[in-house]
């Protein structure tokens, strides 16, 4: 099926609101007509789609930091693609671009909504992961929110994920004395230590987090980069040093219908004079050039290792997303859906 204006393409819709855990039956793959371009618009054939944990929050019809997904309408997400047709002077056919109208095979979008990317020395999908929003999130948390300094002991929860895996490496490159990570399987623990250079890592299913932290950091923790919340965050607070900093990025332990875990030790934030900062990457897009300049150099030199878990074919999008949301699932690093080349 050739991608052209007035042609047809497939896109994922939310068929129903999940009740508890999300399932593949909550989605529908729909074939629709590609609209004709208006002046100032481009048609993009998507080649790589991003799936991310925040998408689960958008499936519920409740207040969120980004509007809920509407039912029976195209789903949004980060994407990389190639411009097929253009009615905009500054975007040419053949350019590789990034945009936010993903989870579909083709996108008609205003030219202002696409950003050309340079794929001469890095694969296009790099810009969905280590040099995309997930990498920017990691960089912001380590360098801006928690301000990791030389000699710090840093604990990253959910450290084998797209954000955590980069956050731990940036902390090390910024001078951290020790980087500790939690993950959801023994394979992920080995990846953190053997491939990414974490000093210590543990499977949070294997004993209490507090016991692991007492062994790994008997003198306490200076920085927590938290993607998980719940029991792991509570345990980390018990092991903070005076003047510690928390970068609060996500609460994966409470996504997808899981029962919230109320923290019982928040008064320690007072007695230990802790700085805790929640943040959203969408508030800091102006930092993208500085981030890509610093982290891009580390990626090109091999000082940052980045891994993706990719599936092939738009049909497998629910599989990729569900793999992110299940504790202990095999997804490591950034989850990406690669689309088949269109004839």
For residue 257, is pLDDT > 60?
yes
> Which residues, 6 or more positions from 57, have their beta carbon under 8 angstroms from its beta carbon?
64, 66, 255
Structure confidence at residue 2 (pLDDT): 66
Residues 69 and 145 in one domain: no
For residue 136, is pLDDT > 60?
yes
What is the mean predicted confidence (pLDDT) over 19-34? 95
Pairing of strands 308-312, 334-338: parallel
Largest CA distance in the chain: 64
Show the DSSP H helices in 141-203 as ranges: 162-173, 186-190
| Count of domains for the chain | 2
What is the mean predicted confidence (pLDDT) over 235-253? 97
Distances (CA, A) of 157 to 168, 283, 310: 10, 22, 22
pLDDT band per the 50, 70, 90 thresholds, residue 260: confident
pLDDT, tens digit, 9 for 90 and up, residues 169-209: 999 999 999 999 999 999 999 999 999 999 999 999 999 99
Structure confidence at residue 343 (pLDDT): 37
pLDDT band per the 50, 70, 90 thresholds, residue 4: low
What is the mean predicted confidence (pLDDT) over 107-126? 95
Residue where a domain stops, chosen among 282, 300, 317: 282
Burial class (CB in 10 A: 0-12, 13-18, 19+), 18: middle
Structure confidence at residue 61 (pLDDT): 95
Residues 101 and 227 in one domain: no
Residues 95 and 137 in one domain: no
Show the DSSP H helices in 174-238 as ranges: 186-190, 209-216, 230-238
For residue 264, is pLDDT > 80?
yes
What is the mean predicted confidence (pLDDT) over 41-60? 96
What is the mean predicted confidence (pLDDT) over 2-15? 86
Report if residue 53 sits inside a domain.
Answer: yes
What is the mean predicted confidence (pLDDT) over 144-161? 98
CATH number of the CATH domain containing 275: 3.40.50.720
For residue 138, is pLDDT > 70?
yes
pLDDT band per the 50, 70, 90 thresholds, residue 5: low
Tell me the C-alpha distance between 209 and 226, whole Å. 13
Residues 150 and 273 in one domain: yes
What is the mean predicted confidence (pLDDT) over 65-84? 96
pLDDT band per the 50, 70, 90 thresholds, residue 254: confident
The proportion of the chain whose per-residue pLDDT surpasses 90, expressed as a percent, equals: 90
Structure confidence at residue 94 (pLDDT): 97
Candidates 160, 98, 166, 112; CA nearest to 306 is 166
Candidates 85, 108, 109; CA nearest to 95 is 85
Residues 64 and 40 in one domain: yes
Pairing of strands 178-183, 153-156: parallel
What is the mean predicted confidence (pLDDT) over 266-292? 97
What is the mean predicted confidence (pLDDT) over 277-296? 97
Report if residue 114 sits inside a domain.
Answer: yes
> Which residues, 6 or more positions from 316, have their beta carbon under 8 angstroms from its beta carbon?
337
For residue 140, is pLDDT > 70?
yes
The proportion of the chain whose per-residue pLDDT surpasses 70, expressed as a percent, equals: 97
Residues 20 and 154 in one domain: no
CATH number of the CATH domain containing 15: 3.90.180.10
Tokens 């929860």, residue located: 157
Find the domain containing 220 and state its range. Answer: 133-282
Structure confidence at residue 342 (pLDDT): 46
Structure confidence at residue 15 (pLDDT): 98
Q: What does the mean pLDDT of the chain come to?
A: 95
Report if residue 321 sits inside a domain.
Answer: yes
Residues 20 and 144 in one domain: no
Residues 145 and 249 in one domain: yes
Global pTM?
A: 0.94
Residues 277 and 145 in one domain: yes
């Amino acid at each position: 099926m050739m991608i052209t204006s007035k042609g047809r393409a497939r896109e994922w819709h939310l068929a129903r609101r999940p009740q508890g855990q999300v399932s593949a039956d909550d989605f529908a793959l729909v074939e629709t007509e590609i609209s004709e371009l208006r002046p100032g618009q481009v048609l993009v054939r998507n080649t790589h789609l991003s799936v991310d944990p925040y998408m689960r929050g958008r499936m519920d019809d409740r207040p969120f930091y980004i509007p809920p997904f509407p039912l029976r309408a195209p789903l949004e997400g980060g994407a990389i693609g190639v411009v097929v047709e253009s009615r905009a002077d500054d975007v040419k056919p053949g350019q590789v671009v990034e945009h936010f109208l993903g989870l579909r095979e083709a996108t008609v979008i205003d030219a202002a909504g696409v950003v050309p990317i340079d794929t001469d020395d890095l694969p296009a999908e790099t810009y969905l992961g280590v040099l995309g929003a997930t990498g920017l999130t990691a960089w912001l948390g380590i360098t801006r929110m928690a301000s990791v300094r030389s000699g710090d002991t840093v604990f990253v929860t959910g450290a084998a994920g797209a954000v955590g895996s980069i956050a731990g490496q940036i902390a090390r490159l910024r001078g951290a004395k020790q980087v500790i990570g939690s993950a959801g399987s023994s394979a992920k623990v080995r990846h953190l230590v053997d491939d990414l250079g974490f000093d210590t890592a543990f499977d949070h299913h294997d004993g209490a987090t507090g016991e692991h932290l007492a062994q790994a950091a008997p003198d306490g923790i200076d920085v927590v980069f938290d993607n998980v919340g719940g029991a792991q965050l509570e345990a980390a607070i018990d092991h903070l040093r005076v003047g510690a900093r928390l970068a609060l990025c996500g609460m994966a332990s409470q996504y997808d219908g899981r029962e919230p875990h109320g923290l019982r030790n928040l008064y320690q934030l007072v007695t230990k004079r802790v700085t805790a900062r929640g943040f959203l990457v969408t508030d800091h897009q102006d930092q993208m050039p500085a981030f890509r300049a610093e982290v891009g150099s580390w990626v090109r030199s091999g000082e940052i290792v980045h891994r993706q878990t990719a599936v092939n074919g738009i049909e497998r999008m629910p599989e990729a997303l569900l793999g992110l949301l299940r504790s202990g699932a095999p997804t490591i690093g950034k989850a990406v859906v690669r689309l088949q080349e269109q004839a």
